[in-house]
Structure 1
Amino acid sequence: MAKIVVACGSGVASSEVTASRIKDFFDSHQVKGVSVDATDFKQLPEVLHNYDVYVWIAKPNQQLEELAKENHIAVVNGMPIFMNMNPEKSYKQIIQALKNMQSANK
C-alpha cells in the first residue's frame, strides 16, 4: 500500500483538511491502495521515512528536503489543495509519484 503524509505547522487544521481532500479526490477517481495521514511539521523527521509521498503545507526546510531525497520520497506542494485554488497540478504530481513508485517496484 502506498502511503502519503500531509504536514502543516500544527498537524491539526491545515493538514487534516488537505488529507481529507486528497482522500476525497482518490475516492472520486477510484484510486485504491493508498493511505493518507496528517501530521505536524515537528514529527516529520521521525516519521517521514515511513511514507512514499510528502505533501507539504508548511514549506519543508533543507533537512526535510534532504531526508525526502535520501529516502526517495516524492515532495508535493499541497497549498493549492488546501486553498482549493487550481489543485489539479498537485493532484497530478501525487498521481505521477504513485505511478513512478509502482514502476520502480516492478
Structure 2
Amino acid sequence: MKKVIVACGSGVATSQTVASKVNRLLKEKGVDAVVEAVDLKSVDRHLVDACAYITITKVSKEYDVPVINGIAFLTGMNQNKELERLIEAINQAK
C-alpha cells in the first residue's frame, strides 16, 4: 500500500488532525493509501518508502517526493488543489 507522511513539530496534535482528514478524503475519492503522522525529527526516515510528504511547517529542504501544503487541510483554503496534487503523486508512485 502506498504511504503518505504528515509531519508537524511533535507528530501529535496538528499532524494527527491532518492525517485523519486526509485519510478520510482519500477514502471518499477511492484512493488506496495510508497516511501516517510523524514528528519532524523522524521525517527523513519515514519518507524512504513514502510517495508524498504533507508538511505543516515551512520546508527549506529538498525531498525526493512531492511536498504538499498541509495548512490547506487545516484551513480548507486551497484544500481541493492540494488534494488533487496529493492524489496525482499517489497515482504516479510505483
Structure 1 length normalisation: TM-score?
0.80
2:86 is matched with 94
Percent identity (aligned) = 33
2:21 is matched with 21
Q: SS of the residue aligned with 2:43?
A: helix
TM-superposed CA distance for 1:85, in Å, is 2.3
**1:15-64 residue CA offsets vs partner (Å, 9 max, x unmatched):** 001001101101222222x11100011111222212111010012232xx
One-letter code aligned to 1:16:
Q
| Count of residues in Structure 1 that have an aligned counterpart in Structure 2 | 94
1:52-71, aligned counterparts within 5 Å? 52-62=51-61, 65=62, 68-69=63-64
4+ aligned runs moved over 4 Å, structure 1: none
**1:42-90 residue CA offsets vs partner (Å, 9 max, x unmatched):** 111222212111010012232xx2xx22xxx121111111222231011
Is 1:30 the counterpart of 2:22 in the alignment? no
RMSD (Å) for aligned C-alpha atoms: 1.3
Q: Quick one: distance in 2 between partners of 1:52 and 1:29?
A: 17
For the 8 Å contact 2:5–2:46, the answer to whether it is kept is no
Structure 2 length normalisation: TM-score?
0.89
Give the structure with the larger helix fraction. 1
Q: SS of the residue aligned with 2:48?
A: helix
| Bigger-Rg structure (1/2) | 1
For the 8 Å contact 1:41–1:58, the answer to whether it is kept is no
